[in-house]
């Protein structure tokens, strides 16, 4: 790799993200899911009946991106959208039986990706912790940068 690129943390993150997404692609094709759809399903497998707003916040996606994605999952009969009883302005997303069944088929994906990356479980947890720390720090830096007065 070019030495100047090696010094760019953003390139390392970008390159690793692309490689991981490329690895996931054929695995997710077996499930008939795109990577963003897989992320939505993962959140719903963890806690069914989340609001569209909560899903968007967790995934850091705006409703213009998330709503069509959920509609495609609904068209595939994996989820159903329902208005919340407590507030009809809120839409909750619920797994269908087919959506729940898909979880079993996807359980080994994280292990397959970790194995392909050559990481043992401890190294994987350490990497995830480090990436979460980097993500948080960079997001805070962006907010501070946007709040700084213009010169």
pLDDT of the residue at 148: 67
pLDDT of the residue at 5: 82
pLDDT of the residue at 86: 77
Q: What is the CATH number of the domain that holds 21?
A: 1.10.10.10
Is residue 97 in a domain?
yes
pLDDT of the residue at 1: 62
Is residue 85 in a domain?
yes
CA dist 46 and 61 (Å) reads 18
Is residue 61 in a domain?
yes
The tokens describing 60, both together, are 């850091």
Instruction: Return left, alpha or beta for 73; rule: phi > 0 is left, psi -120 to 50 is alpha, else beta.
Output: alpha
Name residues whose C-beta falls within 8 Å of residue 134's C-beta, 6 or more positions apart in sequence: 9, 13
85 pLDDT above the threshold of 90? no
pLDDT of the residue at 138: 87
Domain that holds residue 61: 3-118
Q: Mean pLDDT over residues 15-32, rounded?
A: 92
Give the total number of structural domains in the chain: 1
* Average of per-residue pLDDT values in the chain: 89
Residues of the chain above pLDDT 90, percent? 56
Is residue 133 in a domain?
no
Beta carbons within 10 angstroms of residue 118's beta carbon: 7
Compare 119 and 77 and report the one with higher pLDDT.
77
Angle between helices 121-147 and 109-117 (to 10 degrees): 90
Is residue 31 in a domain?
yes
């Amino acid at each position: 790799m070019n030495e100047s690129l090696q010094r760019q943390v953003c390139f390392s993150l970008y390159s690793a993200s692309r490689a991981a997404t490329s690895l996931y692609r054929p695995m997710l094709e077996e499930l008939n899911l795109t990577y963003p759809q897989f992320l939505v399903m993962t959140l719903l497998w963890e806690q069914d009946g989340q609001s569209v707003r909560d899903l968007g916040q967790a995934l850091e996606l705006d409703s213009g991106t998330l709503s069509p994605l959920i509609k495609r999952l609904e068209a595939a009969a994996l989820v159903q959208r329902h208005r919340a009883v407590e507030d009809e302005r809120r839409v909750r997303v619920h797994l269908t039986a087919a959506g729940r069944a898909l979880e079993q088929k996807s359980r080994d994906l994280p292990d397959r990706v970790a194995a392909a990356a050559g990481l043992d479980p401890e190294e994987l947890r350490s990497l995830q912790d480090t990436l979460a720390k980097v993500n948080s720090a960079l997001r805070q830096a962006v907010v501070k940068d946007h709040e700084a007065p213009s010169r």
